[in-house]
Amino acid sequence: MYYVKRIGQSVLVFFIALTVTFALYRLLPFGPVEMVKVSLMQQMLEQGQSPSPAQMENINAMVETYTGIDPSVPWYVSYYEYLYNIVVYQDFGRSIFKNRPVFDILFEAMPWSLFISIYGLAFGTTISLLFGAVMAYNEGGKFDTGMTFISIANSTIPYYVVAILTLIVFSFNLGWFPSGGRMDPSTTPGLNLPFIVGVVKHAALPIFSAFIAGFGGALAFRGNCIREMGEGYIRVAQLRGISQGRIAIRYVGRNALLPIYTSIMMGVAGIFGSGIILETIFNYPAMGMVTFNALMNRDYPLIMGAFIFFTAITLLGILIADLTYGVIDPRVKGGSNRESY
């Protein structure tokens, strides 16, 4: 029952997000449709022509080619068509600049974005959990102090500064890694070693920067571990002679992980959003870069499509976090009374 409710809630949020997107794009004053229309009409007035019905039709047609929207259709009809096309046909419209369906463009770019962000998030999470645990066990020691310092330093440095600096050092100056693209153009795609090496080399710096962006949970995990270690049941476990490793992983680690599990999954959202900045810096042609180019070319259907894609992925990440929370923490059992996020 909880699962059904939770999934239903996600679907509802998705539709609200779609509606907000639609409203932002078409209904608000000074949106793209109105801007194009006003500038076209002004041009016409400057040439000394008054807008006759025939010319209005002409203007409307031009607005449609610029924005992919026919302004003569009332908004509720186009809203219905917009939702209907997305839900039934997965049709997000056609890209104005590339003249291809938006869905195809994004669907091709998507795996590469997933590739970078999932590896970045996985490395970031693993390392910060490991470090957090070791810091907690050496509380007050040299490693703890040093890592606390590094964690604070890490949160003062934005990930794109790391990206720019690594790009300058390792790519422009040392030449160890390529500065753009996602594969070696001289290799044939497929399961062969040169191709894989090329892909890994092109992804290394973006993944490293995503890793820096996702590296932040160490201090929170350290705090949770320390709190768990003071609990009575840990003493009981030690007295029962359970091995240190088992206590560390099954008792302390697992219980300390729970409070930050959702925030880790929320990291998916952050990393996808930051993909636009990262991929542009590294010239890595995936979803973020597609979005960026669309922004630069004012390719509105593509921008909106990308935005909906980002929202859907984020929603999916949070939904998975919520549904698996019960698996990781049996006390929750799909707890509907839980305060998540």
Partner 1 sequence: MFTQTSNVPEPTAREKAYRTFERRIYAPSAVLLNDWRGLVGSAILVAFVFIGTVGVYLIPEPTVMEGPIFAAPFSSWNHPLGTSVMGESIFKQVVHATPAMLQMITAGALLSVCLGTTIGTVAGYRGGRTDQALMTLTDVVLTIPGLALVIVLATIYQPESPFVVGLILGIDNWPTLARTVRSQVLSVREESFTEASRIMGLSERHILRRDVISNLMPYISVNFANSSRKIIFESVGLYFLGILPVSQLNWGVMMNNAYSKADLTNPDQLHWLLVPMALIVFISLGFILLAQGLDRVFNVRLRARHESTSGGESR
Q: Which residues in this chain contact partner 1 in the complex, by CB under 8 A?
A: 9, 12-13, 16-17, 20, 24-25, 30-32, 152, 155-158, 160-161, 164-165, 168, 172-173, 269-270, 272-274, 276-277, 280-281, 291-292, 295, 298, 303-304, 306-307, 310-311, 314-315, 318, 339, 341
- State the minimum distance, in angstroms, from the CB of residue 16 to partner 1: 5
- State the minimum distance, in angstroms, from the CB of residue 22 to partner 1: 12
User: Given the complex with partner 1, which of 207 and 281 has the nearer CB atom?
Assistant: 281
Report the alpha-carbon distance of residue 286 to residue 278 in Å, rounded: 10
How large is the C-alpha radius of gyration of the chain? 25
User: Given the complex with partner 1, which of 27 and 45 has the nearer CB atom?
Assistant: 27
Lookup: tokens for 338: 């839980």
User: Given the complex with partner 1, which of 165 and 197 has the nearer CB atom?
Assistant: 165
User: Given the complex with partner 1, which of 87 and 168 has the nearer CB atom?
Assistant: 168
User: Given the complex with partner 1, which of 35 and 56 has the nearer CB atom?
Assistant: 35
User: Given the complex with partner 1, which of 55 and 171 has the nearer CB atom?
Assistant: 171
Report the alpha-carbon distance of residue 167 to residue 175 in Å, rounded: 9
Report the alpha-carbon distance of residue 302 to residue 289 in Å, rounded: 12
- State the minimum distance, in angstroms, from the CB of residue 243 to partner 1: 37
- State the minimum distance, in angstroms, from the CB of residue 199 to partner 1: 25
Q: What is the DSSP letter of 1?
A: -
Contacts of 217 (CB under 8 A, 6+ apart): 124, 125, 128, 129, 132, 260, 263, 264
Helix axes 102-137, 254-281, angle to 10 degrees: 130
Q: How many helices (H) and strands (E) does the chain have?
A: 14, 0
Report the alpha-carbon distance of residue 2 to residue 89 in Å, rounded: 29
Q: Determine phi and psi for 149, rounding to 5 degrees.
A: -60, -50
* Tokens 């929370």 found at: 325
Task: Output the CA–CA distances (angstroms, integers) from residue 193 to 5, 184, 203, 208, in the order listed.
Answer: 47, 12, 15, 22
Element (H, E) at 320: helix 300-328
- State the minimum distance, in angstroms, from the CB of residue 156 to partner 1: 4
- State the minimum distance, in angstroms, from the CB of residue 249 to partner 1: 29
- State the minimum distance, in angstroms, from the CB of residue 278 to partner 1: 10
- Give yes or no for a contact between 267 and 125, defined as CB atoms under 8 angstroms apart: yes
User: Given the complex with partner 1, which of 9 and 43 has the nearer CB atom?
Assistant: 9
User: Given the complex with partner 1, which of 137 and 160 has the nearer CB atom?
Assistant: 160
Report the alpha-carbon distance of residue 319 to residue 7 in Å, rounded: 7
- State the minimum distance, in angstroms, from the CB of residue 273 to partner 1: 3
